[in-house]
Structure formats: C-alpha cells, structure tokens
Amino acid sequence: MSRTATTPRVALITGAARRVGKAIARELHQAGLCVAIHHHRSGVEAAALAEELESLRADSTLLVCADLLDAAARDELVPTVLRRWQRLDILVNNAARFYPVVLETLREADYREMLGVNLEAPLWLSSSAAPALRRARGCILNLTDIYARRPLPGYAIYCTTKAGLTGLTRALARELGPEIRVNAVAPGVVLWPEQRSEQERAELLTRVPMGRAGEPADIARAVRFLALEADYITGQVLTVDGGRELYC
C-alpha cells in the first residue's frame, strides 16, 4: 500500500489517554501519523487529547473506548480503526495494570486482571492487527518493564506478565517477519507511583546513574525511533531507564 498525502500512516495506541501513552500519541502524531487513542475509564482525558491533536491537524484522531478484559470490546478495536482509515501501520501495546499484590493474600481476580491487560490483550490485538500490519509492512511496539528481568518484591504478578510480554515480543518477531517488525521498550522509573514516599524516591535515584526519573517523552521518543527509524531492528527490547539496570 502506497503512503501518500491522502493515506497517512496510522497508529493504534492502547492506554493512550494518560501518562506514557499520551506522550506516545503526541509523538507519533507529531511525526505525521493519524492516531487511534484507546481508553477505558479515561474518557475526559482522551477527549481532551484528541481535541488538542485535532487543533494541530484535522481528521487525524479516533477515540476508541474498550475494556481490554472484555474480549468482544477488545476484538473490535482493530476493525474500528480499519473502518475509519482502511489501514493500520503501528500497534503500540501500552495499556497495563500495575499494583502490588502480597503473595500470601493473592486473589485470582488480581491475577486475571493483570494477565488479561498486560499480556493477553497484546497477544490478541497483535493477532487481530497482523493482516493489516503485513499489508503495510508495519510494526508492533510493546511496553515492557525493567522489572521483567529484575523482579520487584511485592509485584510478582506484574513482573511475570511483563516477562511474558518480553517473550511474546521475541516470538512474534520471529513469526511475523519479515513483513512485520516487533520490538519492545522497557522503561525504568518514569513518573512516580503515588505510593512512593519522598524518602523512597530519593533512595531509588541514588541507583539511577542519570540522577533523575524518566519522563514520558523519553519513552515516546524511543517508541518513535523503533517504529519509524529502525527498519532493520526486530525482536529487541530497548531499555530506557537512565542506567537503573546497572545496579542490583
């Protein structure tokens, strides 16, 4: 499919209304793409982002609301994008659940929620998007985490799902190549979880050689690089953590 002024490239970004997802949507939009902004409970923020981007370029956004734990709603995401633009070039699996779970009080609901959003949704969305991405010779970007390799105490389920997403990234890169590239970005400390105290934040930054927490824009630029400039990179995880992994 040719890329002309009348058929701009299209990206679907899950969890795009807030935080890192919002920065990714802005970054890809700035690069000239149309963006499908997926959200679930953040409708107000998603609408504000769409209004912002539409003011810069008309008819360049699409709001898609879906609970990624609802198979029927999830499976309509890609078809909805294709009905609007008849193409899909980039799938960014950004949406995630992140919260601590004490192993001794583990509930199946916690496991199902994090597994469903963090790992199963990227798998099913990748499957749904594959035909369109193959036609466009597009790519898939997964947002993993440095804790996929260095598990964080108290977050066993979360770390397991992100480790699984890392494995899925490599498996899909092998299965979907050469037409579709599949890579991942592994953020370190990017925006502080609300439960972190000031003392915990300061202590953690002593183990970040760059001396600061990351910004959503740091992750968005990495996504843009892998999506638009790295035509010979697939099956890789780009760590964006200010050097955090250098420490135990």
Which residues are the active-site residues? 158
Is the separation of the CB atoms in 82 and 8 below 8 Å?
A: no
Point out which residues pair with 190 in neighbouring strands.
214
DSSP characters over the chain: ----TTS--EEEETT-SSHHHHHHHHHHHHTT-EEEEEESS-HHHHHHHHHHHHHHSTT-EEEEE--TT-HHHHTTHHHHHHHHHS---EEEE---------GGG--HHHHHHHHIIIIIHHHHHHHHHHHHHHHHT-EEEEE--GGGTSPPTT-HHHHHHHHHHHHHHHHHHHHHTTTSEEEEEEE-SBS--TT--HHHHHHHHTT-TTSS-B-HHHHHHHHHIIIII-TT--S-EEEESTTGGG--
Within 13 Å and on the Cβ side, how many CA atoms surround 138? Answer: 26
